[in-house]
C-alpha cells in the first residue's frame, strides 16, 4: 500500500461527473452533442482518469471524435497533473478549484486546451475544450457537468442526472447574448492566482453595461484588489463574432454557444487579457476566467462568478 496522498485538486473532483457538452465546428456552428461520464480515481497511490463518451454529431467531426472509453494515467500533484496516456498526453495546471490543461490526444490527433472550473456552491463544473491541429482550431466542446457519488445505485440520483442532461442538451447550443435593450451591472469576486499557482487575493469586479443599439453596448469595468484598474470600451456583435472598439481596450472574441473566448489589449501598454466568459443561466449570470499578460508573459489567472443586477430599459419602443 502506498502512503501517497491525493492532491487538493484531486480531492475536489472525487465522484462521477455527468455532462452533455455541445460540439462546435471552428466557425461556431453547433454540430452535435457528446454525452460524457468521467471520473478521476486515486487508488493505492495511483491516479486513473476514466471517461465514457457517446457522440451524436453530424459531418466530419462525428467520425473524428467517436472513441468510446478513455482510461489513462495521471501523475497527480497540485503543481502539475501530468497525463501519461495512452488517451491523453500532456499536463494540467491547478489553480485552486480550476485546472487549465494543455495536452495531446493521439486518437483524435488534436492538441487541446481544456479548462475545468468547479463551482462548489452551485454543484457544477464549467468545462470547455478547444481542439487544435498545431495552431489551427478544428473543434470546440463545452458544457456544464454535475457530480454524483451514488449514480449506479440510487434511482433518485439517476432521475436528477437524466433531467440535468436533458436540459443541457437543449440549452447547450444557446448563443452568448447580452441583454439587448436593458442596462445593468455585473458584480462579483474573482480569485487571483500568480504564475506560481498561489492564491494571492481576490478582485472585486464591477461591470456597468449600457446598450447603445441592438448590436452595440458600452462597458465600464472596475477591478479592485490585487489588480486595480478602470477601463471602458464599446463592444459590438455580428452573429457569434464580437469586437471591442476602445478607447481603453481593443480586441475581439468568438462565441461557441454560451461560451465566449476573447482577447483584449490595453491601449498604450504591454498588457492584455485572455478571457473565457460563460453565460451560466437565464439570469445573465457570468462565470468568467480572465488571464492577464504583461509584456506577453502570464502574470495573473483570475476567475469567479459575476451576478447580474438589471437596470433601466434604455432602448424603448420608438414612435413618429
Whether 98 and 289 have beta carbons less than 8 Å apart is answered as yes
> What CATH number should be reported for the domain holding residue 282?
2.40.128.20
Same domain, 125 and 32: yes
**189 and 151 share one domain:** no
Contact (Cβ atoms closer than 8 angstroms) between residue 207 and residue 220:
yes
Residues 166, 203, single domain; the answer is: no
Same domain, 130 and 218: no
Q: For position 1, what pLDDT does the model report?
A: 45
Q: What is the pLDDT of residues 230-274, one digit of tens each?
A: 999 999 999 999 999 999 999 999 999 999 999 999 999 999 999
Domain edge (last residue) among 138, 171, 204: 171
Query: Would you state the pLDDT for residue 8?
Result: 87
Give me the pLDDT at residue 2, please: 53
Cis peptide before 247 (omega within 30 of 0): yes
Asked if 164 and 212 sit in the same domain, the reply is no
- Quick check: 41 and 15 in contact, CB under 8 A? no
Cβ partners under 8 Å of residue 194, min gap 6: 200, 299, 300
Residue 319 in any domain: the answer is no
> pTM value?
0.95
Q: What residue numbers bound the domain in which 160 lies?
A: 8-171
Contact 129, 112 (CB under 8 A): yes
Question: What average pLDDT does the chain have?
Answer: 94
| CA dist list (Å): 208 to 27, 216, 230, 247 | 29, 14, 11, 16
Single residue among 121, 144, 171 that ends a domain in this structure: 171
Whether residue 200 sits in one domain with residue 127: no
In a domain, 176, yes or no: no
Spatial distance between the Cα atoms of 272 and 266, rounded to a whole number of angstroms: 6
Separation CA 249–CA 55 (nearest Å)? 39
Does a structural domain hold residue 220? yes
Do 271 and 237 lie in a common domain?
yes
Rounded Cα distance, 207 and 230, in Å? 10
From first to last of the 320 residues of the chain, give the pLDDT tens digit: 456 788 888 888 888 999 999 999 999 999 999 999 998 888 888 899 989 988 888 888 888 887 778 999 999 998 999 999 999 999 999 999 999 999 999 999 999 999 999 999 999 999 999 999 999 999 999 999 999 999 989 999 999 999 999 999 989 999 999 999 999 999 999 999 999 999 999 999 999 999 999 999 999 999 999 999 999 999 999 999 999 999 999 999 999 999 999 999 999 999 999 999 999 999 999 999 999 999 999 999 999 999 999 999 999 999 99
Q: Report the alpha-carbon distance of residue 99 to residue 97 in Å, rounded.
A: 7
User: Residue written as cell 460563460?
Assistant: 278
**Which grid cell sits at 224?**
479592485
Q: Is residue 1 domain-resident?
A: no
Same domain? For 97 and 199 the reply is: no
Same domain, 124 and 151: yes
Same domain, yes or no: 64 and 139: yes
Cis peptide before 291 (omega within 30 of 0): no
- Regarding whether 220 and 163 lie in a shared domain, the answer is no
**Last residue of one domain, picked from the residues 115, 147, 171:** 171
Q: Are residues 141 and 221 in the same domain?
A: no
Name residue, grid cell 442596462.
Answer: 183
**Tally of domains within the chain:** 2
Amino acid at each position: 500500500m502506498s502512503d501517497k496522498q491525493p492532491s487538493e485538486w484531486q480531492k475536489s473532483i472525487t465522484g462521477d461527473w455527468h455532462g452533455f457538452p455541445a460540439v462546435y465546428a471552428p466557425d461556431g456552428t453547433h454540430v452535435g452533442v457528446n454525452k460524457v461520464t468521467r471520473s478521476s480515481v486515486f487508488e493505492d497511490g495511483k491516479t486513473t482518469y476514466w471517461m465514457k463518451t457517446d457522440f451524436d454529431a453530424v459531418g466530419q467531426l462525428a467520425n473524428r471524435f467517436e472513441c468510446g472509453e478513455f482510461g489513462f494515467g495521471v501523475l497527480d500533484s497540485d503543481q502539475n497533473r501530468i497525463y501519461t496516456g495512452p488517451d491523453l498526453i500532456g499536463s494540467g495546471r491547478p489553480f485552486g478549484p480550476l485546472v487549465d490543461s494543455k495536452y495531446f490526444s493521439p486518437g483524435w490527433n488534436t492538441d487541446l486546451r481544456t479548462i475545468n472550473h468547479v463551482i462548489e456552491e452551485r454543484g457544477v463544473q464549467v468545462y470547455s475544450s478547444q481542439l487544435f491541429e498545431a495552431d489551427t482550431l478544428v473543434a470546440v466542446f463545452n458544457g456544464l457537468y454535475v457530480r454524483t457519488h451514488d449514480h449506479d445505485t440510487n434511482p433518485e440520483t439517476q432521475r436528477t442526472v437524466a433531467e440535468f442532461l436533458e436540459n443541457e442538451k437543449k440549452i447547450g447550443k444557446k448563443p452568448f447574448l447580452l441583454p439587448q435593450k436593458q442596462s445593468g451591472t455585473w458584480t462579483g469576486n474573482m480569485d487571483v492566482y500568480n504564475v506560481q499557482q498561489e492564491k494571492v487575493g481576490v478582485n472585486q469586479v464591477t461591470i456597468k453595461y449600457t446598450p447603445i443599439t441592438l448590436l452595440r453596448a458600452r462597458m465600464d469595468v472596475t477591478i479592485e484588489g490585487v489588480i486595480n484598474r478602470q477601463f471602458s470600451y464599446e463592444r459590438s456583435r455580428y452573429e457569434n463574432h464580437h469586437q471591442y472598439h476602445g478607447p481603453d481596450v481593443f480586441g475581439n472574441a468568438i462565441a461557441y454557444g454560451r461560451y465566449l473566448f476573447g482577447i483584449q489589449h490595453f491601449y498604450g501598454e504591454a498588457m492584455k487579457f485572455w478571457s473565457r466568459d460563460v453565460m451560466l443561466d437565464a439570469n445573465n449570470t457570468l462565470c468568467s476566467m480572465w488571464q492577464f499578460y504583461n509584456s506577453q508573459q502570464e502574470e495573473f489567472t483570475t476567475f469567479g462568478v459575476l451576478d447580474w443586477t438589471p437596470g433601466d430599459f434604455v432602448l424603448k419602443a420608438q414612435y413618429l
